[in-house]
Amino acid sequence: MKIVVLDGYALNPGDLSWSALSELGECVVYDRTAPEKVLERSEGAEVLLTNKTVLDAACIAALPELKYIGVLATGYNVVDVEAARNRGIVVTNIPAYSTQSVAQMVFAHLLNITNRVAHYASEVRAGQWERSADFAYWDTPLMELDGLKMGIVGLGHTGMATARLALAFGMEVYAFTSKRQDELPEGVHSVSLDEVFSTCDVVSLHCPLTPFTRNLVNAERLSRMKPSAILINTGRGPLVDEQALADALTHKVIAAAGVDVLSEEPPCLGSPLIGVENCYVTPHIAWATYTARKRLMSIAVDNLKGFLSGHIINNVAF
């Protein structure tokens, strides 16, 4: 069996091993694959693994030996699932591998904003503390999380993990979720989307990207938020109208934002949020801790083993 990994570098830049995958067949790993190289590199493969390399209907039709596509991520929009289904090709994804890492990034952004960690580390390096007349030096407001309202949009695995961390910090947690109130943990309150945006001090996005949620955070919703509010997005870039958020931050409609995802990745020159004061952008790394990537690798192998044994797991082409 021939296994081809089309873009393995993001998962494994060298600190993990492909050996468990190699034990299942002849395995060829490419760091990245340009669109014009996909068919050439996929020729003869029964198994393709992809992270962001697109496998569209034309590509799938041109690969008669293909039986299995493993997406090395949770989102599988890079694969034409309908075309795969029509060919009887199994498509699997990897859900919930980075839950704790992404929730951790939510609070990395939130604590950076409220405690200005990066700012003060930079100030100390610049000698500001040494020149201070007092034993402590600060030149910005500092915020305590205890007692603040955390609004969570989407209470799946990551949203729930974020809610638990918020409760541990003493925050009040309000969630927009399809779950009933009696299904929620103690301390988590189900509210409307409007209430999340209008009453919460922090809003964190954890919903999937759908036609309903695209540009969920727009100028109108931003205008409902408190001037002191903070927006965190570790979900999907297109959940946010980026120009509207840039304008809201520039005009002090809200206080700050922390985002780990953008609508275009890597961003184009002139991306609206980059360089905006009080907008902190990290380069889509919430998922990328060593522990999460090791878990992803293990699940990818288990998915393929399940397919080979006839006990398919995490199948999205049903």
Q: Give catalytic status of residue 116 as yes or no.
A: no
The answer to whether 265 is a known catalytic residue is: yes
Return phi, psi of residue 137, to 5°: -130, 125
Q: In sequence order, what are the residues at sequence separation of 6 or more whose Cβ sits closer than 8 angstroms to the Cβ of residue 19? A: none
* Secondary structure class of 281 (helix, strand, coil): strand
* Active-site residue identified among 41, 85, 87, 284: 284
Neighbouring-strand partners of residue 231: 203, 257
* Structure tokens given for 190: 């189900």
Orientation angle between helical segments 99-115 and 117-125, nearest 10 degrees: 60
**Catalytic pick among 23, 26, 144, 265:** 265
- Which letter does DSSP use for residue 217 in this model? B
Integer Cα distance of 171 and 148 in angstroms:
5
| 206, 221, 236, 293: the active-site residue | 236
Question: Does residue 236 have an active-site annotation?
Answer: yes
The upper half-sphere exposure of residue 181, i.e. CA atoms within 13 Å in the direction of its Cβ, equals 6
DSSP H or E run through 105: helix 99-115
Q: What residues are annotated to the active site?
A: 236, 265, 284
